[in-house]
Amino acid sequence: MKRNKYVIANWKMNITKSPHKVIDGVSKHLLKTKKNSCKVVLCPPFTHLATLSTKYKNLDFGGQDCHQHNEGAFTGSVSAYMLKSIGCNYVIIGHSERRNYQKESNHELRMKLIVAEENKLKIVFCIGEKLNQLKIRDKILKKQLSALPSSFNTKNLIIAYEPVWAIGSGKTPSVDEIDRAHIKIRNILNQKYKRKSTNISILYGGSVNSKNSSNILGIKNVDGALVGGASLDKKEFCKIIDSSSR
């Protein structure tokens, strides 16, 4: 079966002097090229989401996180319901920076996954090992994937394999290592969801740029990329999008 390919921008909490310029460039590029076989999704900080998602109808937008409840006294948080109500169709859940700094547990992540699914958001669920966990990578991936509820609409699920040591470091695993990790993830998903797992796209993330994107996106078991730093630059990000179509 043919799975959807994605190139997803994760702007994190970076300050972009002119977010409209970057998005405008990406939007125009997509309208011009049209040949892109991948879905392009932008995940800017919450403060830009409402204006950007209203203005650029040919692009998809997502939140970088959501709370595990739809509403309530949770100062500083944004819910899946709120994301959906401003026109977002995607949400990133379980990014390693949140697992690390916000100490998000498997239990909390499972609640977020459920609430995001209930709100019909497409979920980009991030998993990946730390450098000191390389030898036990498969065990770590299995544990992180265990946060996924067994009954789940897999049509709304995307996995992003992001080795923590590759994020923002300029280092990436070899093509073979990425392929092996993706095969492992696919096997775990197959066991969990049986036939329903075939439509789950598995993306790679961690230091993807315009120089390595062709190689990475050309890997058989890689269905796209989650891009951090390189997505803040219009030209760089457009080149990555283009390399997904080759």
Enumerate binding residues for ligand PGA (CB under 6 A). Answer: 10, 162, 167-168, 205-208, 226-230
Nearer to ligand PGA, 63 or 206 (CB): 206
Q: Which residues are catalytic?
A: 95, 162
State the nearest-atom distance from the C-beta of 133 to ligand PGA, in Å: 17
Dump the DSSP string for 56-96: -TTSEEEES--BSSSSSS-TT--BHHHHHHTT--EEEE--H
Nearer Cβ to ligand PGA (162/242): 162
Report strand pairing: 38-43 vs 201-205.
unpaired
Q: Which is nearer to ligand PGA, 27 or 207 (CB)?
A: 207
Residues in Cβ contact with 219 at an 8 Å cutoff, skipping those fewer than 6 apart: 175, 178, 179, 182, 204
Q: Which residue is nearest to ligand PGA (CB)?
A: 228
**What does the alpha-carbon distance between residue 214 and residue 199 come to, in Å, rounded to a whole number?**
23
- Minimal distance in Å, beta carbon 114 to ligand PGA? 23
In terms of CB distance, is 7 or 208 closer to ligand PGA?
208
Output the smallest distance, CB 65 to ligand PGA, in A: 12
Rounded to a whole number of angstroms, the minimum distance from the CB of residue 229 to ligand PGA is 4
User: What is the 8-class DSSP label of residue 206?
Assistant: S
